[in-house]
Structure 1
Amino acid sequence: MRRNDREITDKRAIEEFISKQQIIRIGLIDNGEVYIVPVNYGYTYINGEYTFYFHGAKAGKKYELAGSNPSVGFEIDGKYKLLPSETACGYSAQFQSVIGNGVLSIVDDEDERIEGLNHLMEQLTGKCNYEYSKEMLSSVTVFKLQVKKLSCKAKF
C-alpha cells in the first residue's frame, strides 16, 4: 500500500466496515482479461479469516469463470463523500475500502449452501435462518470466496 498513513489494521474496524456494506466486486479472469461483477454478499469471520458467500445462476459467465479459474480479486468500498474545493485539482474524497484476493468455489454441500444463503440474507436484511425449498436450492448457485489476503484503506 503506497499510503501507509491510510491503512487500517484494526481487525474490529475492518469487520465493522464489512458488516455494514452490501456489495462486493469480484474480479475474475476471462481469457487473460479481467471480468468484474458486483454482487450482494454475506460472510463469516472465523479465527481471523474471512469467507464471503454470494449467489447466482447455474449458467452464465460468472458461473463458467468460477469453475475455470478459481483465483479472484475482490473489492468493497463505502463511506464515500466528495470534499469540494475552489480548484479542480483541490477536490478530494473521504472513503473506506477493502481489497484482496482469494479462491472462489461453487458450494455443493446442501447444508453449506443454506448457511451461505443465510449469511447473505442476514447481511441484506438483518435476519437469518430462512427456509429454502428444494426447488429454490436446485435453481441457484452458491459461491464461496475464501480470502487469502485482505487490506483496508481509508481517508476520513
Structure 2
Amino acid sequence: MAHMRLAKREITDGKELRSVIEKCTVLRIGGRDEEGMFIVPVNYGYEWEEKDGDISLKFYIHSAKEGRKARAFRKDPQVAVELDREGGVIEGSYTCSYSFAYESIMGTGTIRLLEKTEDKRRGLRFLMEHMAPGSPIEFRDEMIEAVDVYEIDVAEFKGKKREKKK
C-alpha cells in the first residue's frame, strides 16, 4: 500500500489494529462490475493470526446467492475493504480548524466463495462470534445451504487514527 502522508496517524501495533477490527461492526467492500465500481456495507467475522511479526487477516461475510455483489465477486475477486469507528467532532477555534476523531482500517484482498459446508459453517461461526459474542451458535445444514459465505483474504492493510486532544 502507499506510504501514509501523516505517519503520526498510522496504526502499526498489531494489538491496536486488531482492536479496531474487533470494535467495528460494519465492513465496507469495494468491488467492480459491468456497471462500474460499488461499495457494499456488510456485517462480518474475522480470523486474525500473528506469527513472527506477520499478520494474516481474513474476513467472512454471508450473502444472498444472487444479486449484484454475488455476480461481481464471481467475475472479479479483487476487492477493497474499509472499516471505521467514529470518535466525534474535534472542536476548533475557527471554522476550518475543526476536525474529526476516528479509527480506520483500509486494505485490499481477494474474495472467494466458500463451497464446502464445513468451510461455510466455519465462516459463519466467525461472523456470529464477532457480531453476537456469547450467543449460542448452531447451524443446520439447510440454513448453511440457503446462503453464500465468502472469505476475503486481505493481502495488505493499514490502520489510521485521529484522537481527540485530552
- TM-score, scaled to structure 2: 0.89
Alpha-carbon distance between aligned partners in 2 of 1:38 and 1:99, rounded to the nearest angstrom: 14
Shift of 1:142: 0.3
Residue of structure 2 in register with 1:21 after alignment: 24
Alpha-carbon distance between aligned partners in 1 of 2:138 and 2:144, rounded to the nearest angstrom: 10
Alpha-carbon distance between aligned partners in 2 of 1:31 and 1:120, rounded to the nearest angstrom: 29
Residue of structure 2 in register with 1:42 after alignment: 45
Residue of structure 2 in register with 1:3 after alignment: 6
For structure 2, the 5+ residue unaligned runs are none
Shift of 1:85: 2.9
Candidates 144, 152, 160, aligned match of 1:153: 160
Contact (CA 8 Å) 1:119, 1:128: kept in 2 or not?
Answer: no
Shift of 1:21: 1.0
Q: Secondary structure at the match of 1:35?
A: strand
Q: Secondary structure at the match of 1:135?
A: helix
- Note the 1:1-156 alignment, pairs <5 A: 1-31=4-34, 33-47=36-50, 48-127=55-134, 130-156=137-163
Percent identical pairs in the alignment equals 32
What is the identity, as a one-letter code, of the residue corresponding to 2:85? G
Contact (CA 8 Å) 1:118, 1:129: kept in 2 or not?
Answer: no
RMSD: 1.4
Number of aligned residue pairs: give it.
156
Alpha-carbon distance between aligned partners in 2 of 1:127 and 1:140, rounded to the nearest angstrom: 23
Q: Secondary structure at the match of 1:58?
A: coil
- TM-score, scaled to structure 1: 0.94
Shift of 1:130: 1.6
Runs ≥4 residues deviating over 2 A: 84-88
Alpha-carbon distance between aligned partners in 1 of 2:69 and 2:87, rounded to the nearest angstrom: 28
For structure 1, the 5+ residue unaligned runs are none
